[in-house]
Structures are given as C-alpha cells and as structure tokens.
C-alpha cells in the first residue's frame, strides 16, 4: 500500500513478513475498533502472536469468551430488527443528551489530567420502562468489564481504603467499603430504583446492547501447518 503495490501473496522474506504482520494487525485492530464504535457494536479481540506463547486478548479472556458465547447462543433472529429500531431510538437520544452533558462538563470541570479522559452518563429517572433484561445485562456488562482491571487489585484490599494518593478527582467517603464496591453499589442503586414497573417490554436485548458484532479476522487455512505452534504466523 505504499511505495509499491504489493501482490496479494505470501511474503517470502521473513523479516518483511513479520514487519508487515505487525503493522497490519495493528491496523486491523484499529479498524475493528472504529467499526465497533461508529456502529455501536460490542466486541472482543484475541490475537495469537507468533512470537508470543500467550495470546493477547481484549478486553480480557473472559470477556472474549463471553462475547463468543453470546455469538454462539444467539437465537435465530426475528427480534433483531425490532431490537435494532428500539436501540436506535435510544441511542440517538442518548447521544444527543451526551453532547449536552459534555458541553456542560467541559465548562464545569477543570482538569489536570494529562492522559486519559472518559465520560459516561446514565439516565436518572425514567428507567421504569426499561426491560429488566437490559438492566441485568448492564450490570453483567459492567461486572465483566471490571474483571480485567480487577486483577490488578490486591487480592485483599483494605476494608475502607482511603484514596490517599488517589487522583485529584475523587474523594471517597464511604467507610467500610472499597471504592469498587461503592461504585457498583451506586450504580446498582441507580438501576434498582428506577426499575419498579415493567410495562411494555417483550423486547430486547438479551445480551446485546445494541448491535452485537463480532468479527474475527483470524488466521485461516493451512491449519495443519505444523509450524503454527512453533512459529504460528510466520512459518
């Protein structure tokens, strides 16, 4: 794709092939990421690196398995369309609301962080109409998402850890509970409170929040190639 048009065929030169592999895997990951974000699809990624005995997985092995599991268990779709419509509606509203929030936020917040920033928002009241499945799914999702980063935590964390050197943004006040617990509980409460009645429903979302795509650009062919495990991608 550059400097010279490459023939679509196996690259003979080992070094070149490896280099190309690295570059392209990176690019592929990015593409997948973009697709998921732009079109709102959940996904996971697993990469078996030739030189890495262990595969790289994102967001985590468990998450990957979960996603694949959902893929496998996905029922024949009939409701897909209906779901899509509902979700689109929802997403659009949220997106708009988000813009508002972001604007406000930018005004109110004086940030000093130098690397990462993210935002998330949740509906306050009005969750009543929400499908319970969605709620549980939400929780599950959050829970799952916490796993990958949870392993970083000390197995035994303090009952009431003080955010001593914690980032400037927070001040955790609740005693006897870890920030993580508090966080989840808060979120949980938010949901529970607005869940009472479940009028309509009949819908949605078993496991997929919105579109659930999964795409596995994966190795292919020549699986009998013995070199795979020895030198997986680069025979």
Partner DNA sequence: GATGCTATCATTAGCAG
Partner DNA sequence: GCTGCTAATGATAGCAT
User: Interface residues for DNA in 6-65 (CB under 7 A)?
Assistant: 6, 14-16, 18-20, 22-24, 26-28, 30-31, 34
Distance of CA 105 to the CA centre of its chain: 23
- Structure tokens given for 177: 């509970």
Q: Does 227 bind DNA (CB under 7 A)?
A: no
Q: Decide if 234 contacts 50 (C-beta within 8 A).
A: yes
Indicate the residue among 19 and 104 with the shorter CB distance to DNA: 19
Residue 200 is a binding residue for a second copy (CB under 8 A):
no
Minimum CB separation of residue 85 from DNA in Å reads 11
Q: How many residues bind a second copy (CB under 8 A)?
A: 204
Q: Which helix (H) or strand (E) holds 212?
A: strand 211-212
Contact 20, 192 (CB under 8 A): no
Q: Which is nearer to DNA, 23 or 109 (CB)?
A: 23
54 belongs to the binding site for a second copy (CB under 8 A): yes
- Chain Cα centroid distance, residue 94: 18
Using DSSP bridges, classify how beta strands 56-58 and 45-47 pair: parallel, antiparallel or unpaired.
antiparallel
Q: How many other CB atoms sit within 10 Å of the CB of residue 96?
A: 10
How far is residue 67 from each of residues 71, 115, 127, 184, measured CA to CA in Å?
6, 29, 26, 22
Give the shortest CB-187-to-DNA separation in angstroms: 31
226 is a site residue for a second copy (CB under 8 A): no
Residue corresponding to tokens 């409170």:
193
Could you tell which of DNA, a second copy, none binds residue 200, using a CB distance below 5 to 8 A set by kind? none
Tokens standing for residue 119: 């935002």
- Residue 212 and residue 73 in contact, taking contact as beta carbons nearer than 8 Å: no
DSSP letter at 6 equals P
Residue 213 found at the interface with a second copy (CB under 8 A):
yes
CB-nearer residue toward a second copy: 2 or 171: 171
Window 75 to 104, contacts with a second copy (CB under 8 A): 75-77, 79-84, 86-98, 100-102, 104
Is residue 167 within the footprint of a second copy (CB under 8 A)?
A: yes
Binding of a second copy by 114 (CB under 8 A) = yes
Are the C-beta atoms of 194 and 125 separated by less than 8 Å?
A: yes
Compute the least distance from the CB of residue 23 to DNA, in Å.
Answer: 5
Position among 1, 12, 73, 218 found at the interface with DNA (CB under 7 A): 1
Min CB(95)–DNA separation in Å: 15
């Amino acid at each position: 794709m550059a400097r010279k048009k490459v023939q679509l065929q196996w690259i003979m030169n080992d070094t070149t092939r490896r280099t190309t592999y690295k570059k392209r895997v990176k690019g592929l990951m990015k593409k997948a990421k973009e697709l998921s974000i732009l079109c709102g699809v959940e996904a996971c990624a697993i990469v078996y690196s030739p030189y890495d005995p262990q595969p790289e997985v994102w967001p985590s092995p468990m998450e990957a398995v979960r996603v694949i599991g959902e893929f496998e268990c996905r029922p024949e779709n009939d409701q897909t369309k209906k779901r899509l419509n509902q979700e689109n509606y929802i997403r659009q509203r949220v997106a708009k609301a988000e813009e508002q929030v972001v604007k406000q936020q930018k005004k109110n917040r004086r940030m000093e962080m130098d690397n990462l920033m993210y935002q998330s928002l949740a509906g306050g009241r009005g969750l009543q109409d929400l499908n319970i499945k969605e709620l549980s799914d939400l929780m599950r999702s959050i829970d799952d998402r916490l796993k990958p980063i949870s392993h970083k935590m000390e197995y035994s964390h303090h009952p009431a850890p003080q955010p001593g050197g914690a980032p400037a943004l927070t001040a955790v006040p609740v005693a006897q509970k870890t920030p993580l617990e508090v966080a989840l509980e808060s979120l949980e409460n938010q949901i529970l409170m607005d869940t009472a009645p479940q009028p309509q429903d009949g819908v949605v979302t078993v496991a997929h929040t919105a579109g659930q795509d999964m795409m596995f650009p994966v190795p292919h062919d020549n699986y009998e190639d013995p070199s795979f495990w020895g030198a997986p991608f680069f025979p």
